[in-house]
Structure 1
Amino acid sequence: MNITHVVENLNRGGLERMVLDLVKEQRRQGHQVQVLCLFERGALAGELEALGIPVIACGKRKGFDLRALGRLRCALADQRTDVMHTHNAVAHYQAVLASVGMGLRQVVNTRHGMGAQQKPGRREWLFRRALKATDAVVAVCEAARRDAVRRGIVPAAKTCVVPNGIVLEGFDVASDAMHERLARLIRVPRGTRIIGSVGRLNWTKDQAGLIRAFRIVRHAMPDTALVLVGDGELRETLRACAFDEGIAGCVHFLGDRDDVRDLLQGFDLFALSSVTEGYSMALLEACAAGLPIVATDVGGNAEIVRDEATGRLVPPCDPPAMAAAILDLLRASQRASRLGTAARTWVETHGSLQAMAASYGRLYFGDVDQAR
C-alpha cells in the first residue's frame, strides 16, 4: 500500500518514536511510506531520510493556513496515498480538510494520550467534525478509549485499541558495566544508586513532583542520584526546583539523547511521575531494560505496570508515596530484580513493534473489529 503518516513534527518524544518505528516496519514489509509534518520537520526526520523515506514539512503558520494545506494535499496526491494515518487531533483535522474529495481508501487516526482538557475545546470540536471522513480512531490504551467515548469526542463504534510497541531486538537489560558507564558520565561514585526518568520536561510528566520525592529518598539514602533524560520548556524551572529542595548537585539533567537505551541499562530503578499519560513508550522501554519501575497510576500506566507484579503504582501528585515506593524497592534488591524480570517477560509478549504493526495492518484493510 501507499501509506502517508501525518504528524505535527518529528521532534523527540514517545509519539514521534512510535511513528518512526512503525514507518520503518511498514517499509520493511514492502509498503511505500512517507511522513508529512504539519509544522517543522523535527530532530528525528533525518533518521527516516537516511533510509530513503520521505519526510515533508508543510510549514503551517498560526491560524488557517491555505498554503500549508495545499502542500499537504499535493504530498498526499504525489504519493498516490491509499491510507492516511494521522496522529493526534490537530494533524487529523488539518489532514482531513486537505484530503477532501481525494477518495482515500482508509483514514485512520491515533490519539496518543488521554487528552488534557476535561471539557472538549475548539480543538476537539474540529476533531469531531473530521470524524465523518474517518474510518477508525485508535486509542493507545483502553483507559484512553473509554475516556474519549465518555466525553463524547469519538463514537464507540469507530474506536479500537492498539497498544504501542517497541523494537525489542538488541534491547539489552540493565548491567553493572552500563551502570558504571553512567556513573562516570554523571560523575558520581560507582556504588551510587541511580534513579532515572525519561520524558519531555513539561507539566504532564510532573518532574517537579519526582524531584520533591527524590529529596525524601536522598535524605533516607544519601548514596542516590536522580537522572532526568529529555528536554522541554520547564528545564530551568526544574533546575530551580532542585535547588530549592537542596538537592541540585544530585539531580542530573541530560537533555535530549540518542542513546536512551544505553542509559536505561545504567539505571537501578525507573520512575515515571506523570499526571496524565496515554500508553507510555518510556515505560515500555524501561520494561525492556528489565528495570524495577515506580509509576503513577494514571491513564494507561496500569495496563503496563501491574502493581507488585511488574512494578509499583502510586497516586499522582503525591511525592511522599512516590518516595516510599522507590525506597521500598531500593531496600529490597531481590524483590526489585524479580519485578524487573517480570516486566521484561511481559513486554516481550505484549509490547513488540511487530504486534502493533500487525494490528494497524488489519485496520488499514478496514477490519476494526479484528484490530480490537
Structure 2
Amino acid sequence: MLRVLQVVTCMDRGGLETMLMNYYRHIDRTRVQFDFLTHRAREGAYDKEIYSLGGKIFTVPRQNPFSPAYRHALHKFFSAHPAYTVVHAHLDCLSGVVLGCAKQHGVPVRIAHAHTTNQMRDFKYPIKDLYKRIIPRTATDLLACGEDAGRWMFGSAPFLVLPIAIDTEKFRFDKNMREDMRRTLGITKEELLIGHVGQFRKEKNQTFLLDVLHSLRACGTKSKLLFVGDGEKRAAVQNRAAALGLTPYVLFLGVREDVPALLHAMDVFCMPSLYEGMPLAVLEAQAAGLPCLVSNGVPKDCLQTPRARQLPLSAPPSKWAEVILAESKVLSAAPPVLQSFDICENARMLTAYYLQKDAQRRRETAHGSADRVYADV
C-alpha cells in the first residue's frame, strides 16, 4: 500500500480540507492511504474521522520559513519517516519550504497544490511572493484547483488541474429536509434566506453581504442572512451587523456538519470574495440546485449551472439585492448536473495518479533522472 503524506495547516472544516476528506473517503484505501502533517498542535475537526479511516496525523510547529526551529522540526520528521515516497503539500505559496526539505531527504514525488488565485497584500505578501517562486524548483509535480490558480501560483511551469470533487448525491435537493431545517432555524415561508458558507477571513468579504441585506430590508423585503463557518473575522462581521441594526436578521451558525441541509434551507447562495481558487461551497450550492451569485473574484470555471452568475464587486449592494430578489423568484427546472466534479470518478483518477507518479519517479530515481517537473498524466 502507498501512504501519501498530505501537508496542511490543520484539518478543520475549510474548503481545502473538506475537499481532501471527500477524496480520502472515496479513494481505494486498499491501494492508497492518506497520512497528514499539520502545523497546529490542537485537534482538527476531521481528526477523528482520519483516524477511523486508517490515517495518521503528525504535527510540526506553526509554519515560519525563517525559523531554524521550524526547519529543524521538518528535518527531524523526514529523518524519522523515510518510508514516505509521495508528499502532497497544500500550503500555497509556502509549499516549497516543506517540499525543499522533503527533497533533501530524497522523497521522490513532491507535489505542490495551488488552491488560490491571490494573496492579501499585507506585510507577509513579499515573503510569500518570494517563496512562491521556489516551488517549481522544489516540487516534482504541480497541481491546481483550477486554471487561474495554477497560472497565478506556478507561472509558466506546466501543471495539472485536479477537480474539486464533491459527493453530488449528498447534496441532491430534498424538499422535506428544506422544510425541516427552515422550521428549525425559525425561517418563515415568506422570508428570503440568503446563505454563505466559508471561513471568516478578510478575502471572503462577508461584510459586503450585510450591506446587501440592509438594501433588501430597506426596500421592504422580508429577508435574513445565514453564515456557516468560523474564523478570525467573525467578530468584526458581528459588530458590523450590530452597527447596521441587523443582528435580529443574521444567523451565525459556526462550523456545522449538516451543510447539505443548511444549503437546502437557503433561497440564494452568495459569495462576494475578493479572490478565490475554486471554492468548494459554490459547487456544493450548485449541486443542491441553488441560484448562486458570486463576485468576479470567483473564477468563471466555478460556475457550472445556468443558475450561477457573477457580479462585479464594483456593483453597489443595491444591485446585488436586486439580482438576488430576481433569482429567488425563478423556479428551478431540471436537477443540476456536475459530472466533472463527481467524487467517485475523480477519486479513481487520483488513486491512479498517485500510483503512477510513485512508480514513474522510482524508475527515474533508479536511472538518475529525478527532479524534473512533470504534468503528463
For 1:222, the aligned partner's letter is T
1:355–1:219: structure 2 CA closer, same or farther, 3 Å change rule?
farther
Residue in structure 1 matched with residue 344 of structure 2 by the alignment = 354
What displacement does 1:224 show? 1.8
For 2:191, the aligned partner's letter is T
Residue in structure 1 matched with residue 26 of structure 2 by the alignment = 25
Provide the TM-score with structure 2 as the length reference: 0.85
Residue in structure 1 matched with residue 327 of structure 2 by the alignment = 329
What displacement does 1:185 show? 2.8
Matches within 5 A, 1:138-287: 138-148=143-153, 154-175=154-175, 177-287=176-286
For 1:124, the aligned partner's letter is D
Question: Which runs of no fewer than 5 residues in structure 1 stay unpaired?
Answer: 149-153
1:262–1:314: structure 2 CA closer, same or farther, 3 Å change rule?
same
Residue in structure 2 matched with residue 311 of structure 1 by the alignment = 308
Superposed CA offset, 1:207-255 (max 9, x none): 1001101111223353221111111112221112112222221111111
Whether the 8 Å contact between 2:96 and 2:138 is mirrored in structure 1 is no
Provide the TM-score with structure 1 as the length reference: 0.86
In terms of mean alpha carbon deviation, does 84-93 or 7-16 score higher?
84-93
Residue in structure 1 matched with residue 8 of structure 2 by the alignment = 7
Residue in structure 2 matched with residue 151 of structure 1 by the alignment = none
Question: Which runs of no fewer than 5 residues in structure 2 stay unpaired?
Answer: 361-373
What SS does structure 2 have at the residue aligned with 1:265? helix
Count residues in correspondence.
353
For 1:353, the aligned partner's letter is I
For 1:72, the aligned partner's letter is F
Whether the 8 Å contact between 2:96 and 2:139 is mirrored in structure 1 is no
Of residues 63, 66, 74, the one that matches 1:69 is 74
Residue in structure 2 matched with residue 83 of structure 1 by the alignment = 86
Distance 1:29 1:281 in 2: 27
Distance 1:142 1:218 in 2: 38
In terms of mean alpha carbon deviation, does 92-101 or 15-24 score higher?
92-101
What SS does structure 2 have at the residue aligned with 1:326? helix
Residue in structure 1 matched with residue 370 of structure 2 by the alignment = none
Residue in structure 1 matched with residue 366 of structure 2 by the alignment = none
Distance 1:370 1:271 in 2: 36
For 2:330, the aligned partner's letter is S
Residue in structure 2 matched with residue 42 of structure 1 by the alignment = 44
Superposed CA offset, 1:317-364 (max 9, x none): 54223212101112x332xx13xx46x21x2x1211234334544543
Distance 2:94 2:20 in 1: 13
1:324–1:293: structure 2 CA closer, same or farther, 3 Å change rule?
same
Whether the 8 Å contact between 2:199 and 2:230 is mirrored in structure 1 is yes
For 1:324, the aligned partner's letter is E
In terms of mean alpha carbon deviation, does 362-371 or 191-200 score higher?
362-371
Sequence identity, in percent? 25
For 2:172, the aligned partner's letter is D
Superposed CA offset, 1:141-199 (max 9, x none): 11222333xxxxx2523322222111223333152x23332333332334322111100
Superposed CA offset, 1:31-80 (max 9, x none): 13211113334222112112221112223475332442145314642xx1
Distance 1:264 1:321 in 2: 23
In terms of mean alpha carbon deviation, does 135-144 or 116-125 score higher?
116-125
What SS does structure 2 have at the residue aligned with 1:138? strand
Residue in structure 1 matched with residue 369 of structure 2 by the alignment = none
Q: Does 1:122 align with 2:124?
A: no
Over the residues paired in the alignment, what is the CA RMSD in angstroms?
2.5
Whether the 8 Å contact between 2:286 and 2:304 is mirrored in structure 1 is no
In terms of mean alpha carbon deviation, does 81-90 or 249-258 score higher?
81-90
For 1:256, the aligned partner's letter is V
